[in-house]
């Protein structure tokens, strides 16, 4: 029996060793399983966080595209406003240039009118068509100029006329008025 008891004892030692090895393997596999489940859980939380971030980013991109659309619409509106403003300024500049030419021509017309009245002064009994046309031009000139410019035009014309010329003009106006009353 010693042989069989030795053999049984050896078998029991092997059996215990195998059981320990199996328990160790089960423990290791359990630990590996728990680690993998923890890793999966962490991956799931990261995935959820990434999904939330993607959702936030998609909202931000949507808001930015909406803002970009409204900004481009405003940019077009502001550009059109500036374009209209530039056109108005251009038209005002052209009108100012045209009025500037008229103002420059008016002293010449005043000088021409004063010369024509001296020519017509000699013929006080009869009024000539040139005299009537010059008066119409003078009245049209005064009527077409604004009030502020009229005063400056009259001031310029007064500097052109000297005292003797003023007396001649007033005499010719008196003669014309007398001729009209008589005629």
d(CA 105, CA 98): 11
Positive or negative, the Cα torsion across 155, 157, 163, 167?
negative
Q: What pLDDT, on a 0 to 100 scale, did the predictor assign at position 136?
A: 45
Residue entry with tokens 């290791």: 28
User: What's the pLDDT at 180?
Assistant: 79
Stated pTM of the model: 0.36
Per the CB < 8 A criterion, the answer to whether 161 and 169 are in contact is yes
C-alpha–C-alpha distance, residues 151 and 157, integer Å? 10
pLDDT for residue 125 = 41
Of 72, 64, 149, the closest CA to residue 105 belongs to 149
Query: Per residue of the chain (183 residues), what is the pLDDT tens digit?
Result: 677 888 888 889 999 999 999 999 999 999 999 999 999 999 999 999 999 999 999 999 999 999 999 999 999 999 999 999 999 999 999 998 888 766 555 555 555 555 555 545 544 444 444 444 444 444 444 445 555 555 555 555 555 557 787 888 888 888 888 887 776
Q: How far apart are CA 110 and CA 139, in angstroms?
A: 11
Structure tokens at 179: 């001729």
The residue with tokens 């005499």 is 171
Q: Which two tokens stand for residue 108?
A: 């010449």
In angstroms, the CA 30 to CA 37 distance is 10
Tokens of 7: 């053999």
């Amino acid at each position: 029996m010693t042989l069989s008891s030795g053999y049984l004892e050896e078998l029991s030692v092997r059996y215990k060793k195998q059981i320990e090895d199996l328990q160790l393997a089960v423990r290791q596999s359990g630990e590996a399983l728990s680690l993998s489940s923890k890793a999966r859980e962490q991956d799931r939380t990261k995935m959820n966080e990434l999904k939330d971030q993607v959702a936030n980013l998609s909202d931000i991109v949507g808001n930015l595209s909406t803002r970009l659309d409204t900004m481009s619409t405003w940019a077009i509106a502001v550009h059109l406003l500036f374009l209209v403003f530039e056109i108005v300024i251009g038209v005002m500049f052209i009108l100012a240039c045209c009025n500037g030419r008229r103002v420059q021509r008016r002293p010449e017309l005043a000088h021409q009118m004063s010369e024509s009245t001296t020519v017509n002064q000699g013929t006080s009994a009869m009024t000539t068509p040139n005299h009537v046309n010059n008066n119409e031009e003078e009245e049209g000139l005064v009527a077409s100029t604004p009030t502020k410019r009229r005063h400056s035009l009259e001031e310029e014309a007064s500097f052109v006329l000297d005292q003797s010329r003023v007396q001649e003009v007033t005499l010719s106006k008196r003669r014309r008025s007398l001729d009209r009353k008589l005629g």
